[in-house]
Amino acid sequence: MCTAAIIARFQTPYLHAGHCQLLDEVRTHHHKVVVVLGVSPVTGARRNPYDFATRERMIKSAFPEVVVLPLSDHPSDEVWSAQIDQLLSLTFPADRFLLYGGRDSFIPYYSGRLATQELPEYTPDSATEIREQFQDLVLDSKEFRAGILYGLHNQYAKVYPTVDVAVFRHERSQLLLGQKPGEQAWRLVGGFADPKDASFEAAAMRELHEEAGPLEVSPMHYECSFQVDDWRYRQETDKIITNLYSCDLIFGTPVAGDDLATLQWFTWEEIDALLAKNQVAHGHVPLMAFLKDAYACVTKF
């Protein structure tokens, strides 16, 4: 009798009825059952929130006799298929295998040498819908709070990308700065890049239009990048890195919007005065210093 190998992800907080029926059905036809779990290279992702160790323990708590193996995702279906064959043959060199898949399974993408069989849909359970049911559920238990720590500490440290925009006019002799509501410090236009942005240049243009209105400006010019000393992340492992862009005003009048209450044009002499009085937002001081070195002296000639 050949060995069954179920190729799946099981990205749910529990084994739903469809999972259990699938495993039970396969176990009735095979003495040995292996589950090969796909492992995403992206940690802490919404589509793949559970790591291998968590899913392995979940499966073996209900089906302790099942062997669970990890298999990393790969951009090439051909390479990934060969890795399945190699993983199984190296782990069980004397066995023959039949690969099983369920709804939306791996089978259309598999090009290896092992036989495959698609299993029927036993229940309408959806892993995506189950994850959505649990995504904002808070439980009052030690295990739940420990799970939060596990999830946060078992992922890569993050960099949050932002964009800042130096908008100039009058041959770069004046710079546009804004103030947030209730704050006295001045800052450049800008904000966090969005996953929907096609590029950092696109993010810079979006932020400019959101915070200063539909201005017509020259194409965004990349200036530099800095790690931002943001007070919110000062004690955190994760950090903000901003990308500084510049552009020239062609047409339009800035109108404060989004999270800015005020916009104003400043000469370099006025910016010097702001810096001397600590009236520039702390995280923007290095950006101002860079822009001064690059443009303040040039505009005097």
- Return the higher-pLDDT residue of 170 and 125: 170
C-alpha dihedral sign at 24, 26, 31, 36: negative
- Write down the pLDDT at residue 297: 67
Q: In the chain, what is the straight-line distance between the N-terminal and C-terminal CA atoms, in Å?
A: 87
Pairing of strands 3-8, 33-39: parallel
Q: What does the pLDDT average to over 271-285?
A: 94
Q: In terms of Cα–Cα distance, which of 164, 183, 33 is closest to 97?
A: 33
CB 74 within 8 A of CB 83: yes
Which token pair is 187?
Answer: 């800052």
CB 230 within 8 A of CB 283: yes
pLDDT in tens, 221-242: 999 999 999 888 888 889 999 9
Q: Please, which pLDDT band fits residue 301 given cuts at 50, 70 and 90?
A: very low
Q: Name the residue with tokens 């029927």.
A: 120
- Residue 151 CA to residue 153 CA, distance in Å, equals 6
Q: In terms of Cα–Cα distance, which of 99, 104, 102, 97 is closest to 119?
A: 102
Q: Where are the domains of the chain?
A: 3-153, 159-300
Fold of 159-300: Nucleoside Triphosphate Pyrophosphohydrolase (3.90.79)
CB 205 within 8 A of CB 197: no
CATH 3.10.20.740 is right for the domain spanning 3-153: no
CA angle 293, 295, 301 (to 5 degrees): 115
pLDDT in tens, 5-44: 999 999 888 888 888 888 998 999 999 999 999 998 887 7
- Residue 186 CA to residue 177 CA, distance in Å, equals 6
- Residue 92 CA to residue 31 CA, distance in Å, equals 14
